[in-house]
Amino acid sequence: MSNFNFYIYNQLTILYLSFFSLLSNFTTSSFPNTFNTPKFPSSIIRPDQISVSTQNGVYRTKFFTQILDHFNFNPKSYQTFQQRYLINDTYWGGAENKAPIFVYTGNEGKIEWFAQNTGFMFETASHFKALIVFIEHRFYGKSRPFGGNKKVAYSNSSTLGYLSSTQALADYATLITDLKQNLTAIHSPVVVFGGSYGGMLATWFRLKYPHVAIGAVASSAPILHFENMVSPDSFNNIVTQDFRSESESCYKVIKESWQQIQDTASKPGGLELLRKSFRICKNHISANSLESWLSTAYIYSAMTDYPTPSNFLSSLPAYPVKEMCKAIDNPDARKDTFAKLYGAANIYYNYSGAATCFDLDDDSDPHDLGGWSWQACTEMIMPTGGNNEQSVFPASKWNYSNRVSFCKALYGVEPRPNWILNEFGGHGIERVLKRFGSNIIFFNGLRDPWSAGGVLKNISNTIVAIVAKQGAHHVDLRFSTREDPQWLKDVRKQEVELISGWISQYYNDLDLLI
């Protein structure tokens, strides 16, 4: 059995992502213990639809001429590229009133995807009379250096070397500063927002550029999910608990299914039986690819276990983990394990009912997340995949050397596992941030696997951790609905109150100076 090491969204985590991004597939036959990477089946999953009023337009798309390298002064550094950003001034109170500017620090994907899933900024803009700006991360979407040519930008480590979190943060600082000057809004306070990797960037932006942003809302930001900071099995432990909390029998069916899949695949005609059982398209099937496909569904359903229907990673019902377990526990499936698993996977991959078969060999990238594999091979070394005996996934161990082998083969580079902690900190964060940090909100939902690497306790009066037992991946930033539970309404209310305090304090301090 191949080792189940999953890197999300960005996304996420993401995506990592959220979102963390989904890494490009790499043959596990070359590196049998390297990480398998979930991917989007593009025939099914589509970006979410904007769910705010378009009467005055949701946003305008603009481009900013950005420098390639902020930290060197050789001739190559002065090359430029066009960085995309989205802007909405429907509710803005104007520069003359020093009205605030809300900025989303873009994740590892197309910026409109994040705009479509960050309704909190749109919905609170009227309250704060805020200008809204979403900035796209370099090398993603339409913000690619080297003439905007993805093939050239992603060609090798010499070009991809300009893709890093520090360069992205400097991009944001440069763009925000220039935008404020052009709007004659020098005194308008800036609050940055981000979810998943974007939440990590929002945190780091507030710490690195406090003269640009007065505060940060960092949702589901696993800033502590690095070497020697969290247990590698913590991510999958939370996925396990999510399913086990819904149904012990559901948990057991999934846990015991992996060996059954392997055993079936090894028998004559076994792969065809699996193909038929899971409605897999004719082009490709293997035990490992099927296991990765199923694991993707379990992991992302746990991440996006929202209390209302969503279409972030896939079109899903409210509480998709509960629905998957209902399918597994369905008495109509009787003792047919594969029928049970298919019913669960169908919740994630085909809730709309439109798919006729599933492609295990689909390497499409509808949200343009491909650059994350470079970041995961350089600075974003976030150990996941180790499993204990109770895990819903097969027992395994996180192995850093496998990551090194993968990255050397793919890019010819070796990761720097300690760079993020050296650059931004992490060890002793309660003691360190209390000394110099302020005005950061860390939201984490404990049903989100990435919460294990998040800040779960208040650090000071102004660095606040909001923890929701039933919360999922940056659910607080999503558009509100009538069906939202009271706890989610309370979370957003608390965030609004904290942001109000930051802005009021800023205005008080500004009045004293002026």
Helix (H, G, I), strand (E, B) or coil at 80: strand
Q: Is the separation of the CB atoms in 50 and 134 below 8 Å?
A: no
Chain-centre distance for alpha carbon 496: 23
What would the two tokens of residue 314 be?
Answer: 């896939």
Peptide bond into 10 cis (omega under 30): yes
Q: Is the separation of the CB atoms in 164 and 424 below 8 Å?
A: no
- Give the Cα separation of 295 and 392 in Å (integer): 10
Q: What is the DSSP letter of 227?
A: T
- Give the Cα separation of 210 and 436 in Å (integer): 10
Q: Is the separation of the CB atoms in 102 and 134 below 8 Å?
A: no
The HSE-up count of residue 34 (CA atoms within 13 Å, CB side) is: 21
- Give the Cα separation of 20 and 25 in Å (integer): 15
Maximal C-alpha separation, the chain: 81
What would the two tokens of residue 190 be?
Answer: 């800036």
Q: How far is CA 233 from CA 229, 303, 387, in A?
A: 12, 16, 5
Q: What is the DSSP string of 17-44?
A: ETTBPPPPP--TTTSTTS-------TTT
Element (H, E) at 179: helix 165-182
CB-based burial label for 161 (10 Å; 0-12, 13-18, 19+): middle
Name the residues annotated as catalytic: 196, 448, 473
Q: How far is CA 99 from CA 7, 52, 183, 194, 459, in A?
A: 39, 22, 11, 20, 29
